[in-house]
Chains A and B, each alone.
Chain A
């Protein structure tokens, strides 16, 4: 496709069944620097418009098969965007009005001089370029999906624009937002929108990896570096070479590790644990935290120099309660997805159910909404979700400060999680047998402990917990329902 904004070098289709007219138009247009195709009928014009995608069409109205007005209708019906200039022997107002009504951007009266044709065509192409630009900008402002995000609210549009603006750069991105607002999704969006999209996106949850394993997870280790290091192993930094390294919950990183990370950010070099050999990589850093990073600096928990190295482009993800209509848009999206996965017939929500969802505060944000919809789909079926299918805490406790619904799914206090969470990069040392002398408990008890621990580990994210446990999310929901019914979990 040629540059529609340029008045020279455009693709112009001439639809004319009189050879003299056609050759004259071809000669004049070629003299103006345009590419020209000649066709003699409306049918041939439609076929050429489909394949050649002209920027403009110089159209005679009287054609041997059907007329130019009908051709314009067919072009519109097929969604072929092009500037049509009607060529007429009649300069009357009626002809002009009729041509414009039919979709032409202008008309030109025969015989026409080169200068007249040049101006008319340039105006038409400029108008088309403006319309195209307007449509592009409008689409950006109105978009309701962006690299996995669902939502068209104003604060999300701002986040989309920031991510899009920063994507081409190598600048570090610092994502903030409450738990469950989609920080990892935003990090992935930065990566996928960037020229690094073809390389690795490596995510590391700094808060879920034991302190003594974190350095090895980031920088890798050599064989014998520590007990259990039976072979050389690459870390996240090496795996992300040429791509993006996402450090989630960066605020949880121990201070001594922050020093090593700062050196890595400054120089692009690091040494694997146990090695003195320096390795150089090209990594784009994206970090996230659900805390206020400046407050962490002021409290002495986060190094100021590292903060300024990483906090180059901030992206703030709004809480779900600030996203207005996005709540229902996201709920409908999840309902469609989960109903398909679970073989349910849900087509939508009742008005009362939508009201309950829209007025609830969602302290756990999108993740909580996702869990609630999954819960509904797993435990119910029907054409639409009714109010009584909505988890009780959501129904009865509208308001932004409500913290109850997480407790409805899982208890607030649970045993400590036994394993770290690190996506893509696996922990260096995986737990094996139970320790000697560890008390043996019934399998059902151990199962409950593990599921609850996984839920706590993932911030009550049932799908992620299920993924860690390598079971279906539906199983987790059913177990929770069953334990609640048996009084093994706190009631709502």
Chain B
């Protein structure tokens, strides 16, 4: 099961155009916020790290990417070192984006 279980619910609730828009914004958010996490670690800026983790948790929560959201919330709570947290978040984010690509492909079978 992908980490985008809630996306199926969104497909019922939204028009195809809105669904593409929301998932497109999610993709942008993931790329922007994982980048922000890396920058924060490089700068040893824990405040910026938590802020980016919070934003990514919210974005993941919105589309039902539960594992990614949980990892972000653990990172916000300093449950794991920042670098380790980023590693896990990166992996889960990549997985979520892959799932998203598959989901969107099913949504629109034309190349």
Contacts and interface: CB of A to CB of B under 8 A. Distances in A.
Interface of A: 16-21, 23-24, 27-28, 30-31, 60, 62, 64, 89, 110-111, 113-115
Q: Which of A30, A31, A64, A89 has the most CB of B within 10 A?
A: A89
Interface stretch (B12-20, B35-43, B78-86, B87-95): B12-20
Contact of B61 (A17, A23, A64, A110): A110
Among A28, A60, A111, the most chain B Cβ lie within 10 Å of the Cβ of A111
Given A18-B55, A23-B21, A111 B61 contact: yes
B95 to A, nearest CB: 17
A7 B19 CA distance: 24
Interface in B3-41: 6, 9-10, 12-15, 18-19, 21-22, 25-26, 28-29
A23 B9 CA distance: 16
Given A60-B58, A89-B58, A20 B13 contact: no
Contacts of B61: 21, 89, 110-111
Contacts of A30: 18
Chain B CB count within 10 A is highest, among A24, A28, A30, A60, for A24
Closest CB pairs A-B (n = 8): A114-B13, A18-B58, A27-B18, A20-B59, A110-B61, A20-B26, A21-B62, A20-B62
20 contacts: A16-B58, A20-B25, A20-B29, A20-B63, A21-B58, A27-B19, A27-B21, A27-B22, A28-B14, A30-B18, A31-B14, A31-B15, A89-B73, A111-B9, A111-B61, A111-B63, A111-B64, A113-B9, A113-B13, A114-B13
Interface string B43-59: 00000000100110111
B63 A27 contact: no
B22 A24 contact: yes
B10 A24 contact: yes
Main secondary structure on chain B at its contact with chain A? helix
B19 to A, nearest CB: 8
B58 A20 contact: yes
Contacts of B18: 27, 30-31
Contacts of A17: 55, 58
Contacts of B19: 27
Contacts of B59: 18-21
A147 B60 CA distance: 58
Contacts of A27: 14-15, 18-19, 21-22
Given A27-B19, A31-B13, 10 more contacts: A18-B59, A18-B62, A19-B28, A20-B62, A23-B21, A24-B63, A30-B18, A62-B54, A111-B9, A113-B13
